[in-house]
Structure 1
Amino acid sequence: MSLRIGDTAPDFSIPTTKGDISFHDWAGGSWVFLFSHPADFTPVCTTEMGRTAQLADEFAKRNVKPLGLSTDSVEDHIKWIDDVNDTQNTDLTFPIIADTEHKVAQAYDMIHPGESETAAVRSVFIIDPSKKIRLTMTYPMSVGRNFDEILRVIDALQAGDKYKIATPADWTPGTKVIIPPSVTNEAARTLFPQGWDEIRPYLRLTEVE
């Protein structure tokens, strides 16, 4: 069965480029950006790993730990990291899982036989500090991920948790948010003393930051 939003992210123990980890213990009280790639020493994957490394400060300020994964070995990962750093002008320090037996890829439904029987597609799991899956995205092997969108959805999830709001299409931090229909006007007056614009009874917009 595929994992769904709201499910607890399966725990696992596995070798990585930073030594063996037990996933839930390693995650601790942080959010996790768990993402798979098809293979080391391939062009799209190299740019994605490089971009993740370049965004280290952006992930850190959001309390997010990146965690890569492919079915290659630790030895191959370590050799490849030198190429990533060289070609992408960065310093990759986050761990990359060596899922040589496909245990994590199978648990997280990262191997899609229509693409490959052995290599993972480009899966994304955003996992919160309680180990709940909050967002999933899946890209084909030929399409690199949009990291602006990955950061945006993390911001949206964290803003939702903090302010009890929802976010409209194309929302970015600093723009108006939605007061959910489940929040009565009476409760909204306490939660949102700054007030709101009522476009419709079900569509109330406010500012939170």
Structure 2
Amino acid sequence: NSQCNNRDRDMPGLLLGDVFPDFEANTSTGKIKFHEFLGNSWGILFSHPRDFTPVCTTELASAARLSNEFKKRDVKMIALSIDSVEDHCSWSKDVMALHPEQAASPLPFPIIADDKRELSVLLGMLDPDELDKDGMPLTARLCLSYKCVVFVIGPDKKLKLSILYPATTGRNFAEILRVIDSLQLTAKKKVATPVDWKPGDDVMVIPSLSDEEAKKLFPAGFNTKELPSGKNYLRYTPHP
């Protein structure tokens, strides 16, 4: 893909650290250029194999309910589905109806129309081998072959996270928010977040920092867990 970083790969598709493709697309709220749409914000793009499908409808409803949380984190949201803008607009009403208190409100983020499947192939969500002679997915296999992906893109337009789901398994947007909190923290501070971390919990000093450097960077200090190996690599410090 010439729009991604030009380097050899052992696997197809986007890799962490790649510059995310700057594509143009029609959406439920108008035409966009993706990098221009993001501006200097973080971004999240989540894909769907088709409109009016049960799992995807619940996912979009969850994303809509949490949209203010994404906004607080300066994350611009956008979805993608292979159907038309007209279908997206109709589907959006079904999505918002799952939250009666918001049913009269518009979907708080756009949905990209990928009716030619070009973006789905470009971004590794649909295998070109699954297309028929006219370049369209084989309908009977689409939902099984389509890869539902969450992409998180940083302000530098580089891919920071990708999570791949089968179309039968709904995504957890509360978990995605937790991951974004970690990504944004660790992008600014020389820390890592341990298993099950949530904002406010202790974080870990990254291994590349010596104890002397860590003492200077973390005025609150850090605690080192004693281990049978005698290696002092588990160092915890309060959330900076």
TM surpasses 0.5: yes
Aligned residues: CA RMSD: 1.8
Question: How far is 1:208 from its partner?
Answer: 2.1
Kindly provide the amino acid, as one letter, of the partner of residue 16 in structure 2.
I
1:62 aligned onto 2:73: yes
1:185 aligned onto 2:196: no
On the 8 A contact 1:38/1:119 being kept in 2, the answer is no
1:24 aligned onto 2:35: yes
Q: 2:113 aligns with which of 98, 104, 110?
A: 98
Q: TM-score, normalised by structure 2?
A: 0.83
Equivalence for 1:160: 186
Question: How far is 1:111 from its partner?
Answer: 1.3
Q: Which runs of 5+ in 1 are unaligned?
A: none
Kindly provide the amino acid, as one letter, of the partner of residue 170 in structure 2.
G
Corresponding residue SS for 2:192: coil
- Give me the whole-angstrom Cα distance separating, in 2, the residues matched to 1:9 and 1:170: 28
1:194 aligned onto 2:194: no
Q: Which runs of 5+ in 2 are unaligned?
A: 1-11, 131-140, 226-230
Q: 1:172 aligns with which of 188, 191, 198?
A: 198
The superposition leaves residues 92-143 of structure 1 with CA deviations (integer Å, 9 ceiling, x where unpaired) of 1201000111121111101155x63897431000100000101110111111
Corresponding residue SS for 2:27: coil
Corresponding residue SS for 1:32: strand
On the 8 A contact 1:111/1:117 being kept in 2, the answer is no
Note the 1:11-160 alignment, pairs <5 A.
11-89=22-100, 90=102, 91=105, 92-112=107-127, 113=130, 116=142, 120-160=146-186
Corresponding residue SS for 2:94: helix
- Give me the whole-angstrom Cα distance separating, in 2, the residues matched to 1:120 and 1:191: 45
Identity %: 48
Kindly provide the amino acid, as one letter, of the partner of residue 95 in structure 1.
P
